[in-house]
Amino acid sequence: MVHMVKRSTANNHDFADLTHIFNPRSVAIIGASEKPGKVGQVIMQNYMDAGFQGALYPVNINAGEKISGYKAYKSVLDIRKEIDLVVIAIPAAGVPNVLEECGKAKANGAVIVSGGFAEVGAADLEEKIKQISKKYKMPFIGPNCLGVMDPRARIDTLFLPTYKIERPKIGGVSFVSQSGSVGSSTLDLISAEGFGLSRFISYGNATVVDEVDILHFLAKDKNTKVIVYYLEGAKRGREFIEVAKEVTKSKPVVIIKGGITETGATAAHSHTASLAGSYESYSAVFRQFGMTEAHELEELIYFAKIFDTQPLVTGNRVAVITNGGGHGVLATDAIYQNGLTFPQLTKESQKELRRRMPPIVNIALPMDVGGEADYKRFGDALEVLSTDQNVDAIMMIALFQTPGADEKLVDAVVNFNNGKKKPLVVVSTGSSYTQSHTKLMESAGVPVYESPSAAAKALAALISYSRYREKAV
């Protein structure tokens, strides 16, 4: 259970319920269009492609009777039905007027994807929409954002066509990004990696709904298992930390900080009107309160997928199985460079491995099972090591270029992982043949990495968070 801290109302962020934004039953799209390439057209198409089951209302002042087969409206005031979410995709100058109409229509929330506010110096325009939100007690995400996507609820306000960015499958990772570009590229990486997404939230300038509000929501969200953040700066930094240190007692929070240099901080401010703050201060607090800090986008993926798929473990003794000697050497370096170590196998494990393995296999770690090793040899090694009391986690290096590595090995690994006896990471390096097999493993919940270094970093993050949580709870 997450114990939530009391929220401050000093910045008018005290919205009791954001459910209408994240789980709407009805959506009005202001700026909807049938003209290809228009932001409103892409968003409208995305909702149709996602199979949104609620009511969909396209709104355009120049609309005819229908847009994309749906009855069209010239104003949100013409809808005369309850509206949970309004997506606003029109030029910035027109946003205050339509937001005022949304308030009068008693809309429950909004996403403003339009840019052209404080990030370009138009702070007065941004203040105007903030006051409208306050007047009608109507929260909104944005402006200058991509908004929200939820494959489970089939909502998608992203103005990025599905043929350019594949949407991830349903899963347990929620990804929050202050930056739309970082968010979209990382979303693409998540899709390619094959693990699932619970929610994607791009919040832009954070004029009303900010990083604290979103963290509050995700902390209570039963579908979110892991929270991943790209953060340039926090407008309510102290409150963000107070909430985060409670959230990490029950859910991992993976975070990457943008604007860690003076020049980067300046770029962050011009990008989302964010106060980037001292990186050293942020980083120290991340460590203190159990957040897992990534230093590059690839690490966000490394950490998110191991937290999403593997059980927690506090021990740092990692057994390595490999069918390539050189990769075993690289794995050894990576293990020790990341504060991990090899276990001393019990005499019972050594005896059983000796019985099952051919004479050419040296019963030592890293254990090279040979270039001709097949699914049975790998499976035997996994079975014995998983029952060894001195082994906390397993790194398996499977090079599919070798004769014995094929789809039967994939089945053996997936079956072992389904038992969740101990954390397992797989390392597979290669091109099309390898990638076809790694995708099968990833889709079945096995975290696969392209290098021993990446796998070791992920294991170290899992262990570090597990130890923090054991002490904190």
CATH no. for 19-307 = 3.40.50.261
In this model, does residue 267 exceed pLDDT 60?
Answer: no
Q: Is domain 311-472 given the CATH code 3.40.50.261 in the classification? A: yes
The DSSP string of 246-264 is: HHTTTS-EEEEES--SHHH
Q: Is the pLDDT of residue 364 over 60?
A: yes
Return d(Cα 331, Cα 58) in angstroms, integer. 55
Nearest one of 434, 424, 417, 428 to 452, comparing CA atoms: 428
Rounded to whole angstroms, what are the CA distances from 248 to 18, 69, 159, 301, 449? 21, 46, 32, 18, 25
Angle at 154 between CA 250 and CA 173, to 5 degrees: 25
Q: What is the mean pLDDT of residues 31-46?
A: 93
Nearest C-alpha neighbor of 213 from the set 32, 37, 40, 13: 13
Top-confidence residue, 179 or 233 = 179
Nearest-5° angle of CA 123, CA 149, CA 201?
A: 45
More confident of the two residues 131 and 272? 131
Task: Read off the pTM.
Answer: 0.89
Pull the structure tokens for residue 256.
Answer: 């990457």
Residue 324's Cβ-side half-sphere holds a number of Cα atoms within 13 Å equal to 19
What are the extents of the domains in the chain?
19-307, 311-472
What is the model's pLDDT at position 260? 58
% of the chain at pLDDT higher than 90: 78
What average pLDDT does range 368-379 have in this prediction? 96
Mean pLDDT for all residues in the chain: 90
- Give pLDDT tens digits for 119-148: 999 999 999 999 999 999 999 999 999 999
Q: 411 burial class (0-12, 13-18, 19+ CB within 10 angstroms)?
A: middle
Strands 147-150 and 140-141: unpaired
The reported pLDDT for the residue numbered 306 is 97
Q: Does the pLDDT at position 315 exceed 50?
A: yes
- Is residue 291 over pLDDT 80? yes
The reported pLDDT for the residue numbered 191 is 84
Mean pLDDT for the stretch of residues 16-36: 91
pLDDT for position 259: 61
Measured distance CA(254)–CA(266) in Å, rounded: 24
In this predicted structure, what is the pLDDT of residue 278? 66
Task: Give the mean pLDDT of 356-369.
Answer: 96
Instruction: Check if 19-307 and 311-472 are the same fold.
Output: yes
Contacts of 363 (CB under 8 A, 6+ apart): 345, 350, 353, 354, 357
Three-state secondary-structure class, residue 211: helix
